[in-house]
Structure 1
Amino acid sequence: MGGLIAYGAYVPHRRLRRAEIAAVLGGPAAPGTRAVAGHDEDSTSLGVEAGRTALRGLPQGHAPRRLFFASSAPAYTDKTNATAVHAALRLDRSAPAADMCGAIRSGLDAVTAAVDSPVPALAVLSDLRGGLPGGADERDGGDAAAALLFSGSGDEASTAPVIAELLGQGWATAEFLDRWRPQGDISSRIWEERFGEQAYVPLAEAAFAQALKKADLTPDAVDHLIVAGAHGRAVRAAAARTGVPREAWADDLTRAIGNPGTAQFGVVLCDVLDRAGAGETIAVLLLADGASSLVFRTTEALGERRSSPAVAEQIAGGDDSLPYATFLTWRGLLDREPPRRPDPEPPYAPPMYRSTDWKYAFVAGRCASCGTRHLPPADVCRACRHTGEMEPEPMADVPATIATFTVDHLAYSLSPPVISAVVDFDGGGRLRCELTDTDPGAVRIGDRVEMSFRRTQTARGVHNYFWKARPARRVPGQG
């Protein structure tokens, strides 16, 4: 069986307080917050950010050679979404990219495919969850992504240190109607809760017992138990029937960020790995169209391959001031008067194809003669006038500083006003771009920023992806 060699999660910056929903629509106020993808984010962009976190600092020569993308809310149908993630992560063209979309269980299927791959494979789990205004799915859902890189199990497997060995798997598949969403609907439909609990719990017991048997473990040997699924009542009942001590149950993070569906178990697994020590056993149990279970044991290498920023840091750094009306607008459930400007033009396929490295992977050019950076790459160096092919210069992880900015209240946007900035990158290079995840009154010249992959606009059904700058994330309590 393959082993985990890298991991990463992404939790969007914005939060919606559940009490804000009750304040607008009435009814009792639920505690906590849910994570909300920005107006410029979707399951593809969330997946890219999680993948960047997982691959950051990976030893050279150990990049994924297969990519599996899972979501119940893909940005496109008919078109493969994984290819945009592939391009943004700058994976080799020989690495295939596949979608596993449409169901919550797809996330576990992507992980299983990555585990069984003979070569290093990356499973990216990403989701945006919601429902009708005032409903339980809207209140309890969440938006987030996780990325898990496995070493491969064949002759061409990665030699990077394994941080968590996979000891066993268990499955119990069944067909029953618990949760479903007809094509084109914006909200799921749910059968009566007691039926779901009665169906799920025996399946969960069978899958969990099978995984423990293959791992040659007993329930009291599990240090961290992750139980995930969209059926809260069944999840709680299944956890109680595992036999794992209550103190070993992992926080499912629903109070802080909600339930991100396909990505839930992946995000919680990343959170556990952020804190786990060497030699600890982690059991995952997913309830979705049956039950599936995985059992991992961490290694000494985990301490040197912690993901950054950690899930807890991302949660602590969130902004919970998002108004409910803004959330509804971003979700397309509140049709507000647009700016009195022409609608945005869609991007065109040929130029996008010709500039894939720049547009998706944010690869600039460096003059081979004088070393000047060019954003975007140029045919002629503006400094020394050297002509010829520029050397590729990846910029996605290079920090920058705001040189100047302007606030535009007239530009077309779902989240006005638009903040346009000129940023100077460390080591040279200047770019005019949009700022995101910040408020106009908080921006200052000299602020440090980092780049983030975003959906800049959607026009005539075409999503236009590019890079924006956001305030550099700081660990809470430091600087």
Structure 2
Amino acid sequence: MTRIVARGVHLPLHRLERASIGAGRGTRAVASHDEDTTSMAVAAARTALAGAGGHLPGTVLFSTSAPAYADRTNATAVLAALGLDGDAAAYDFTGSVRSGIGAFRAAADAAAVGRTTLAVASDIRTGLPGSAEERDGGDAAAALVFAPDGPCLAEVVATAAVSAEFLDRWRTPGEAAPHVWEERFGAAVYAPLAARALEQGLKAAGLDGGDVGHLLVTGPHGRAVAAARRAAGVRPEAVADDRSGAVGVTGAAHPYLMLADAVERAAPGDAIVLLVLADGADCVVLRAGELAGSAPGPAVAGALPGRPVAHQDMLVWRGLLRREPPRRPDPDRPAAPPSHRAADWKFAFTAGRCEDCGARHLPPQRVCRRCRAADRMAPEPLAGRPGTITTFTVDHLAYSVAPPVVVAVVDLDGGGRLQCELTDADAERVRVGDRVELTFRRLHTTADGVHDYFWKARPVRGEEH
């Protein structure tokens, strides 16, 4: 038995209005200048683990078509930022949109043999200006916790997959945007693949189209997805909104996002069918569990509203448009040895609390500043601890691709003071006393491609300025 016991979704704050680029109605989600697929994966996974009811994963599988690094494992940064045991395994599934459903199936297989597994998919979809990918793509991350037992959102009943080699969408290493073949070709190739995977999945589950309560169809080829929905033979009301009108199609993350959305609306026992079209077709049949419909917090619907972003800013953040940088030296590259020694602080935001007097130290120290006790510090993870801005400054000269930089001094609830950057906030509306929460972000990327990750503060969602 494979059960999905928790889910988490991260939708970036910013939205590009398609009308602003002459590309129709709706919006697409846009990752901020300090977000990448790794940082968004951490945000989604933190939410999932918070609702996992004590299920701690022994394996982390991270999927994306746009990894922050090649030739090294990005899942290890996710593992470290979550503060998980270093004995856990961490692996990447990268390079294609289909890798997302591949990680899903691998996590389900691991849970079936008794290993709790976190599968997280995160994608940033970049297209050249004026392209269909720019219009229809979107940025997001979503995470699912798979376990062999316990109350669940859904349980996996059956899977099916068909594969085919055809040139529909491709991007060579180093290219920023994909190439796409003419749409009619892709739609013609995908149609029989989708029909075969759906037929096999339903047959394996002992169901037919009339039994399906929620049909989730996704893939980067919009025409093929629309055709598969029409040909599925299910009740029209069973076809789920894929949320692409509000956030776009988020690549490897989209199957996870749609499933996280579906379990909020499903009733226990409902049949949920997930059909993913990418270099073939994958079908997953699930049964909604006892937690369906009552999961804490709206994972997707509650994060749909966002802040408009200018097209020019999006292009700058993507590296497709150069803007005059601040006239300050580029930041130094973080050195590997000290970063490794401080990994618990840098990635997991683990402070120290004196075991003698209870004083909290950010970052952790060997000697207590209050009672002077030496080597009496207990680790204290604080990534989920909110705080209050006690003072701040707005710096128009500091190095940033999105100036100005807002630096705030934050008093964390329960003690401890932190100086850090503020993100997802309007510099002109920041005020002393604003409530903030911590978020794992990229401080900058050096000229030789090293990403410097740390924690920033952002207004508590729903209280953005």
Please indicate, yes or no, whether the TM-score normalized by the shorter chain is above 0.5. Answer: yes
In structure 2, which of residues 450, 462, 465 is the aligned counterpart of residue 462 of structure 1?
450
- Residues 13-412 of structure 1: matches in 2 within 5 Å? 13-22=13-22, 29-60=23-54, 62-117=55-110, 118=113, 119-152=115-148, 159-303=149-293, 306-308=295-297, 310-316=299-305, 318-320=306-308, 322-412=309-399
> CA, structure 1 residues 271+301, in 2 after alignment: closer, same or farther (shift >3 Å)?
closer
SS in structure 2 of the partner of residue 233 of structure 1: helix
Match of 1:2 in 2: 2
192-201 or 142-151: bigger deviation: 192-201
> CA, structure 1 residues 54+370, in 2 after alignment: closer, same or farther (shift >3 Å)?
same
Query: Is the contact between residue 364 and residue 377 of structure 1 (CA under 8 Å) also seen in structure 2?
Result: yes
CA deviation profile, 1:288-322 (whole Å, cap 9, x unmatched): 01100101111223355x25452111112x112x1
Q: State how far apart, in whole Å, the 2-side matches of 1:76 and 1:308 are.
A: 32
**Does 2:407 match 1:414?**
no
SS in structure 1 of the partner of residue 135 of structure 2: helix
Match of 1:156 in 2: none
Query: Is the contact between residue 53 and residue 307 of structure 1 (CA under 8 Å) also seen in structure 2?
Result: no
Q: State how far apart, in whole Å, the 2-side matches of 1:380 and 1:243 are.
A: 68
> CA, structure 1 residues 462+307, in 2 after alignment: closer, same or farther (shift >3 Å)?
farther
Normalised TM-score (structure 2): 0.97
Q: State how far apart, in whole Å, the 2-side matches of 1:300 and 1:396 are.
A: 30
SS in structure 1 of the partner of residue 38 of structure 2: helix
How many residues align structurally? 460
Q: State how far apart, in whole Å, the 2-side matches of 1:207 and 1:184 are.
A: 33
Structure 1 unaligned spans of 5+? 23-28, 153-158
Q: State how far apart, in whole Å, the 2-side matches of 1:205 and 1:18 are.
A: 32
Q: State how far apart, in whole Å, the 1-side matches of 2:387 and 2:349 are.
A: 14
Match of 1:26 in 2: none
CA deviation profile, 1:214-254 (whole Å, cap 9, x unmatched): 11111111111110001111111111111111111111111
Query: Is the contact between residue 33 and residue 257 of structure 1 (CA under 8 Å) also seen in structure 2?
Result: yes
Match of 1:473 in 2: 461
SS in structure 2 of the partner of residue 301 of structure 1: coil
Q: State how far apart, in whole Å, the 1-side matches of 2:57 and 2:150 are.
A: 12
Q: State how far apart, in whole Å, the 1-side matches of 2:390 and 2:150 are.
A: 40
1:59 Cα deviation (Å)? Answer: 2.7
Letter in 2 for 1:220: G
Q: State how far apart, in whole Å, the 1-side matches of 2:298 and 2:49 are.
A: 12
Letter in 1 for 2:29: A
Q: State how far apart, in whole Å, the 2-side matches of 1:436 and 1:368 are.
A: 33
SS in structure 2 of the partner of residue 199 of structure 1: helix
Letter in 1 for 2:181: W
1:474 Cα deviation (Å)? Answer: 2.7
SS in structure 1 of the partner of residue 418 of structure 2: strand
Match of 1:155 in 2: none
> CA, structure 1 residues 257+20, in 2 after alignment: closer, same or farther (shift >3 Å)?
same
Q: State how far apart, in whole Å, the 2-side matches of 1:325 and 1:175 are.
A: 37
Query: Is the contact between residue 6 and residue 51 of structure 2 (CA under 8 Å) also seen in structure 1?
Result: no
Query: Is the contact between residue 34 and residue 258 of structure 1 (CA under 8 Å) also seen in structure 2?
Result: yes
Normalised TM-score (structure 1): 0.94
Q: State how far apart, in whole Å, the 2-side matches of 1:212 and 1:127 are.
A: 29
RMSD of aligned residue pairs (Cα, Å): 1.3
Q: State how far apart, in whole Å, the 1-side matches of 2:181 and 2:372 are.
A: 68
1:53 Cα deviation (Å)? Answer: 0.8
**Does 2:396 match 1:427?**
no
Q: State how far apart, in whole Å, the 1-side matches of 2:90 and 2:263 are.
A: 26
Letter in 2 for 1:79: R
1:365 Cα deviation (Å)? Answer: 0.6
CA deviation profile, 1:120-147 (whole Å, cap 9, x unmatched): 0111100000111111101111000110
Letter in 1 for 2:244: T
